Structure 1
Amino acid sequence: MDASAYYYIPAFVCWAGLGLKLPGLLRSWRDPLIRAVCWVIFLGGVGFFLAAPRTVAGLNDATGIANFSAALVYATVSAYSASCLVLIIHWRGGPEPYVRRLTRRWTAGYGVLIAVLITLFVLGDAPSERLTDFDTYYARTPWTGEMVVLYLLGHMTAAVASTVLCLRWAREVHGWLRAGLWLLVLAWLLNVSFSGLKLTAVIARWAGRDWDMLSTTLAPRLVGVAAAVAVAGFTLPLLGPWATAVRRAVTTWRRLGPLWRELSGIHPGSLLAAPIPWYASPFIHLTRREAGIEDGLRLIRPHLDYDVRSQAHTAAVAAGHSADSAARIGHAAMIAVAVQACRRAGPPTSAGFLDHAENSGGTEQVDNPANAELPVTRPSLIGIAHALRTSPIVAAARAAAAATPAADDERTPIR
């Protein structure tokens, strides 16, 4: 693999994470926490992009200054370190004056560090372009060697401070936030290792040894992994709750399927809810399915029979079901039989359906015991859907209702 790929790939990972956060930034650009997250991810990607050997060579050629890119990379990475500390401070929160004061201190400290790094680069002498081993090649050069050590110490300080802050906070929280913080602890430990390896290689040069492989080969790969882990750590607490909500919506949508399909069979060829695009969000799909179930229950309401529910409930209790399970089976059997009765009665006219909806006012008809006790909460409907799919008692009631002659449906349900 080309050496530049070890830098470009982490840069792409960082900017892909930034793309996930841009919608939130556009919606809440005044939120300092969201701005800090975006700055961290953006600067992390910029740092990797600028450190790639191809970018280094291009920048040096464009400016005509040998190793100009080294000073630029050092300044960018230092700004990244400061932004990480600022993010964690805002993320953890606290009294606003305290957060503001601590943020200003870290920002000012790393601002001074960047100014000193640039000054040392100007004072130093680095005429030979180094694409990958600038740190070790100039380790013993006056001013430039001090710049290298100061940069590494600044990066290591931020890494250690961030590790300690995240570790302490991870012990106080739970859920997605805690998982994200543990990922950040791992990422910052990898960053500490990155600085440590480079510093070790520099010290080895001071002692006349050549351990450049630690700085030019191993350290970049470690920090590339650290970038991916850090992006995951920053985005997990923000995307995790959304992913959990999506999973719950999909699960609920799927569990309500048997009830929705049962009610959709009232009139063959017709759906209870208008079709929606496949790419619509799971929340829209769930809302439409629940709306369809509500419409279906409204259609079969005149055909609900309390005797069917009572008989199915008794049979379920006799079969050893718990009280809750027997109640769900009873309601499921009542709904299945009502669907068959509604199918034989034919589709209602638009006027008739509207009159019924207006008279019911969207509420249960309390003059019919079956209507009065029809559950409408989501957990109850999920339980009924499960009974419709699995209960042999419900299947038997449905089959018996399907075999009932049409003339038998002229009876009036219990009111």
Structure 2
Amino acid sequence: MSSVYYYLPALLLLVSFALRVPGLVRHWRDPLVRSVGVVIPLGAVVFFFAAPPTVSEVNALTGVANFSAPLVYAVVTAGSAAVINLMLTWQGGPEERRRAAVLWCAGAYGTVIVALLALFALGDAPDERLQDFDTYYSTTPYLREMIVLYLVAHAAATAVLSVLCRRWAQEVTGLLRTGLVLIGAGGVLGLGYTVGKLLAVGARWTGHDWDGISTTVAPSLAALSSLLQCVGFALPAVGESLRRQSRQWSRYHRLGPLWEIIRAVVPYELVRIPPWSSLSRRHLRRTCDIRDGLRLLAPYLDTVAVADAPEPAAGPGALKGEAVAHAALVIAAFGSLNSSLNTRPGAAAGGGSVQSLIDSEDELVRLSDAVRVLAPRRGGPAAGHGRDGHGRDGHGRDGHGRDGHGPSAAPQKAVS
């Protein structure tokens, strides 16, 4: 079997681990993060050390023929225990019960690893075998027991993994269920790997040669099993991250109309932010801009003024001269929003307060939607494209939402 089938999965697993390193450093105290941080590199180590060129090099460096065999068996066994530990941690449940199960698993598979090394030391394997160690030494005392012990331990781990995934998948939905199904499918393929190896070993015991199953079919199943399990473990987290990004982008875009109006209302310039700023930073800046502007208009939103628009007040904190119509649009939208709240079944009289509006991002989004609807009717600005960061006039706010020249006083006259 080509070495590519060993090194390629190892490379993919290492890349996957490298992408997780920042999160691993930030959240090292999280047991689930630590478990993932152990499973992925162990999988990469298994494929790397099982590759024939690596087997030959390790044997040469240690000066012990076939030293790679117990090394790979030990790493595979440790990986099996790590996968079960990951599933137990991921599933959660009572802390004492989970901890006891993890300790039992670590103790059992730690004992298996010690037994594997002891059996290899007791056996006699003078002829170096790069790919068919399992079948070549399947009838050698002590080595025979070592091979069977390793395969049985691996089969038990994959069986437990498949059962855990099947039970949990019946209780959940969505991407988590899909991920569990993929992990369970990987476990089934892992069982196929073990069965293939056992068939080849059993054939040698009966005088037959089925080595091709052990050297070609079984490693292929192992590679595919690891791939499915990696995708299964990653899918729920990646899917949830994409959902969060999608929700944040939707909110950011929907806040655009209100943000454009606020930019025309506030009497001070906004600080630039780089166009390559992250979505989170741009969303934070936009939300802070809107809240600062609404605080400036708070006296008029509280009364939902309907008087004729006066001349803008002069002095620090006063509205821009061209901002009266924009402010009136925000006030009208706030009035429309309050009316809709009052017409809902069970709504309290009086609708929502300005402070509750400012504190709730959901309400800010609804107010922005109202501005977008009212703007064409009142001949207001066609806002809503959210030029923040891309195609805008270059004015923005820093990551804290302040520029050092915020409104120092409320406008002194009512705005309609």
TM-score normalised by length of structure 2: 0.73
- Change in Cα spacing, 1:288 to 1:204, as seen in structure 2 (3 Å) is same
Partners of 2:222 and 2:94 lie apart in 1 by 34
Q: Is 1:277 aligned with 2:274?
A: yes
Gaps of 5+ in 2: 321-326, 338-356, 383-412
- What do the CA deviations read for 1:226-282 (whole angstroms, capped 9, x no partner)? 222222323334444333212210121122234434544569xx9975333344432
Please tell me whether the aligned partners of residues 333 and 370 of structure 2 are also in contact (alpha carbons under 8 angstroms). Answer: no
**1:373 aligned residue:** 335
Q: Is 1:395 aligned with 2:373?
A: no
1:350-389 correspondence runs (5 A) = 350-352=316-318, 370=332, 373=335, 375=337, 376=357, 378-379=361-362, 381-383=364-366, 385=368
Report the alpha carbon displacement of residue 209 of structure 1 after superposing the two structures with TM: 2.9
Give the count of matched residue pairs. 356
Please tell me whether the aligned partners of residues 333 and 367 of structure 2 are also in contact (alpha carbons under 8 angstroms). Answer: no
- Classify the secondary structure of the residue corresponding to 2:172: coil
Partners of 2:241 and 2:367 lie apart in 1 by 28
**1:242 aligned residue:** 241
| Range 149-158 or range 130-139, more displaced | 130-139
Report the alpha carbon displacement of residue 297 of structure 1 after superposing the two structures with TM: 4.9
1:59-208 correspondence runs (5 A) = 59-208=58-207
Give the letter for the 1:395 counterpart.
P
**1:357 aligned residue:** none
Please tell me whether the aligned partners of residues 18 and 41 of structure 1 are also in contact (alpha carbons under 8 angstroms). Answer: yes
| Range 78-87 or range 253-262, more displaced | 253-262
| Range 136-145 or range 293-302, more displaced | 293-302
**1:325 aligned residue:** none
Give the letter for the 1:217 counterpart.
T
Give the letter for the 2:287 counterpart.
E
**1:251 aligned residue:** 250
| Range 18-27 or range 153-162, more displaced | 18-27
**2:388 aligned residue:** none
Report the alpha carbon displacement of residue 291 of structure 1 after superposing the two structures with TM: 2.3
**1:313 aligned residue:** none
| Range 272-281 or range 60-69, more displaced | 272-281
Please tell me whether the aligned partners of residues 273 and 289 of structure 1 are also in contact (alpha carbons under 8 angstroms). Answer: no
Percent sequence identity over aligned pairs: 41
Q: Is 1:12 aligned with 2:11?
A: yes
- Change in Cα spacing, 1:209 to 1:369, as seen in structure 2 (3 Å) is closer
Give the letter for the 2:376 counterpart.
A
Partners of 2:5 and 2:11 lie apart in 1 by 11
Higher helix share: 1
Please tell me whether the aligned partners of residues 254 and 369 of structure 2 are also in contact (alpha carbons under 8 angstroms). Answer: yes
One of 286, 291, 303 as aligned partner of 1:289: 286
- Change in Cα spacing, 1:271 to 1:232, as seen in structure 2 (3 Å) is farther
Using CA pairs under 8 Å that are at least 6 residues apart, name the structure with larger relative contact order, 1 or 2: 2
- Classify the secondary structure of the residue corresponding to 1:398: coil
Partners of 1:199 and 1:215 lie apart in 2 by 8
Partners of 1:294 and 1:248 lie apart in 2 by 20
Please tell me whether the aligned partners of residues 272 and 296 of structure 1 are also in contact (alpha carbons under 8 angstroms). Answer: no
- Change in Cα spacing, 1:394 to 1:257, as seen in structure 2 (3 Å) is closer
- Change in Cα spacing, 1:300 to 1:140, as seen in structure 2 (3 Å) is same
- Change in Cα spacing, 1:259 to 1:123, as seen in structure 2 (3 Å) is same
Report the alpha carbon displacement of residue 296 of structure 1 after superposing the two structures with TM: 4.8
Report the alpha carbon displacement of residue 155 of structure 1 after superposing the two structures with TM: 0.4
Give the letter for the 1:274 counterpart.
V
Partners of 2:180 and 2:270 lie apart in 1 by 43
Give the letter for the 2:206 counterpart.
A
Please tell me whether the aligned partners of residues 13 and 44 of structure 2 are also in contact (alpha carbons under 8 angstroms). Answer: yes
- Change in Cα spacing, 1:275 to 1:65, as seen in structure 2 (3 Å) is same
- Change in Cα spacing, 1:73 to 1:400, as seen in structure 2 (3 Å) is closer
Report the alpha carbon displacement of residue 67 of structure 1 after superposing the two structures with TM: 1.0
Partners of 1:246 and 1:31 lie apart in 2 by 23
- Classify the secondary structure of the residue corresponding to 2:378: helix
Partners of 2:66 and 2:270 lie apart in 1 by 65
Partners of 2:176 and 2:265 lie apart in 1 by 47
Partners of 2:367 and 2:333 lie apart in 1 by 15
- Classify the secondary structure of the residue corresponding to 1:373: helix
Give the letter for the 1:373 counterpart.
G
Give the letter for the 2:286 counterpart.
R
Give the letter for the 2:335 counterpart.
E
Please tell me whether the aligned partners of residues 125 and 137 of structure 2 are also in contact (alpha carbons under 8 angstroms). Answer: yes
- What do the CA deviations read for 1:174-208 (whole angstroms, capped 9, x no partner)? 34433332222122112111111222222223333
TM-score normalised by length of structure 1: 0.73
Report the alpha carbon displacement of residue 123 of structure 1 after superposing the two structures with TM: 2.1
- Classify the secondary structure of the residue corresponding to 2:101: helix
Partners of 1:169 and 1:69 lie apart in 2 by 36
- Change in Cα spacing, 1:193 to 1:347, as seen in structure 2 (3 Å) is farther
Partners of 1:5 and 1:209 lie apart in 2 by 29
Partners of 2:10 and 2:82 lie apart in 1 by 17
